[in-house]
Amino acid sequence: MMRSALLAAARSPQARSFVERTPLTKPVVSRYVAGDTLEEAVRVTGDLLADGRKVTLDHLGEDTTELAQATATVHAYERLLAELGRTGLASGAEVSVKLSAVGQSLPRDGEKLALDNARRICEAASAVGTTVTLDMEDHTTTDSTLGILADLRVDFPWVGAVLQAYLHRTEQDCRDLSGAGSRVRLCKGAYKEPESVAYQGKDEVDLSYVRCLKVLMNGQGYPMVASHDPRLVRIAAQVVAAAGRTADSYEHQMLYGVRPDAQREIAANGTTMRVYVPYGDQWYGYFMRRLAERPANVTFFLRSLLTTN
């Protein structure tokens, strides 16, 4: 019930206004969001790379309703990628892009606009020697996102995909995307989805995650294991061993601010650990979904509100 309430709040203008105006929220948000500005994002990226971890950066923004918003997001990614190149950080940092932020949901030619804008971001990434991963959103955008992915991979075969294990369709999507050179981030999923398209119970989602992971690890692509669950991380190690994978043929991914000690431990053991680093002033929806994922996040948030001076 708490998860459903938080996911509903993520789309509530009234809840958003309250949370964003509460002075005590910002110190808590800073645990999960690198900052509002490009400079803050680049500083955090440098710190993580110096600590042995890699990075994927997300310029926060979704539910784009105007062309100007989509264009501004593209410019933000172009500036970010240019700065990563200028500072020498591009070899260890890529970007993650939500297609809704670059026009996918606009009523007129949204899908074409998103493809064109994503192509511009891919061109900017290619110019500095790094990559792009397309984030996945709610199930109504899955077919559109995978279609745009296929179009982008004609010219940029390294573009990464994200698949969500809680969707019934994902095991087949993993088979379709497990070919040579295919980069796939497998996560559980963070949106509220109906029972008709998604598993609802934790055990069902976990079992689906393991099935999907086995498909990817036994394929020819480059799996990206996006989970903070210690049990699933341990199972992933077993699946890797059974598939005969080498340490450089896959990676782990975790969110900025979540289990940093575990992140360092994985990196110290010789496996790539990539941290998903969001930044920007449109942090509300992202932050609320992080709270919804784990009750411990809510406890941390409420404790911080009570104890921050």
Kindly name the residue from 119, 153, 183, 185 that is annotated as catalytic: 185
- Find the helix packing angle between 110-128 and 67-86, rounded to 10°: 10
Beta strand residue intervals within the chain, DSSP E: 54-59, 93-98, 132-135, 160-164, 183-187, 222-226, 251-255, 272-279
Phi and psi torsions of 180, nearest 5°? -60, 135
Kindly name the residue from 135, 173, 183, 274 that is annotated as catalytic: 135
Cα–Cα distance measured from residue 242 to residue 236, given in angstroms and rounded to the nearest whole number:
10
Ramachandran assignment for 38, one of left (phi > 0), alpha (psi -120 to 50 degrees), beta (any other) = alpha
Active-site annotation holds for 185: yes
Q: Are 125 and 110 spatial neighbours (Cβ–Cβ below 8 Å)?
A: no
- What is the set of active-site residues? 135, 185
